[in-house]
Amino acid sequence: MWHLALCFIFVINMEKHKKTIQVCFTPVLFPLYESSDAIVVVIDVLRATSAIVTAFENGVSRIIPVSTVEEAIEYKNKGYLAAAERDGIIIEGFELGNSPFGYMQEKVKGKDVVITTTNGTKAINVAKNSHKVIIGSFLNLKAVTDYLIKENKDVLFLCAGWKDKFNMEDSLFAGAVATELVKSSFFETECDSTTATIQLYSLAKADLYSFLGNSSHRYRLAKLNLEKDIRYCLQESISDKVPIYKNGSIVDS
């Protein structure tokens, strides 16, 4: 009888302590969502976080995210392999931008890479000092989901967006993972932005590429002839890497 009662109390307790899922649509809104215990999943599907996952798939040692091109130049002058992108284009004088294809080269293997991008590195930098930060993209969708279920902590998806505005592809990825997390009895959400991303992903999942047909960022990249990058970045779960921010740089977890 006592065992039954204890079991009952345990179940009630579990119900009370379900982990929360929230989605922050842009770095500007991040201060509204601070919960020190949450794991922050930084998302910049097109293309920074997809490039970072690809970099680790290709044996990069560490990635150092910096906010400004000037900082990236400083590292470059010290001999680092450096990547700098603004508005979808590699900054002159740099070898790499944020195209995942740039990181599929033997020369990145075992290297430390410094990176600055329009949106992605900003998102990493607003969260890195206060939270555990991991890197999410469709490429490592299942790996990120499994990691979050195993860690069993509150989750905050931080979408990089586009210049502080909401964007569709980052929200869809948040929705893809949230869809899986809410199936687990350990997670719950009362967050409208999470619900919105789950609903949007339900509409998009059958054909992400077509769903994003009119999205602002896909349109922006298509004008730069980056259709190949877009197709690549929308592949689901082709990597089991979960890059994580630790002591000033992103490493393989």
> Given the rule CB under 8 A, which residues bind its own copies?
25-26, 28-29, 32, 162-168, 171, 190-193, 195-196, 199-200, 202-203, 214-217, 219
**Cβ proximity of 19 and 153 under 8 Å:** yes
Q: Which helix (H) or strand (E) holds 242?
A: none
- Specify the residue, 3 or 223, whose C-beta has the smaller distance to its own copies: 223
Radius of gyration of the chain (CA): 19
CA distance 139 to 244: 15
- Residue 63 pairs in a beta bridge with 113, 250
Q: How far is the CB of 164 from its own copies (least distance, A)?
A: 6
CA distance 119 to 184: 31
Cis peptide before 47 (omega within 30 of 0): yes
Instruction: Report the relative pairing of strands 112-116 and 62-65 from DSSP bridges.
Output: parallel
Q: How far is the CB of 14 from its own copies (least distance, A)?
A: 20
Structure tokens of 99?
Answer: 């195209």
Q: Which helix (H) or strand (E) holds 120?
A: helix 120-127
- Specify the residue, 163 or 246, whose C-beta has the smaller distance to its own copies: 163
Q: How far is the CB of 142 from its own copies (least distance, A)?
A: 25
- Specify the residue, 57 or 169, whose C-beta has the smaller distance to its own copies: 169
- Specify the residue, 106 or 190, whose C-beta has the smaller distance to its own copies: 190
Q: How far is the CB of 218 from its own copies (least distance, A)?
A: 10
Q: How far is the CB of 220 from its own copies (least distance, A)?
A: 9
- Specify the residue, 233 or 242, whose C-beta has the smaller distance to its own copies: 233
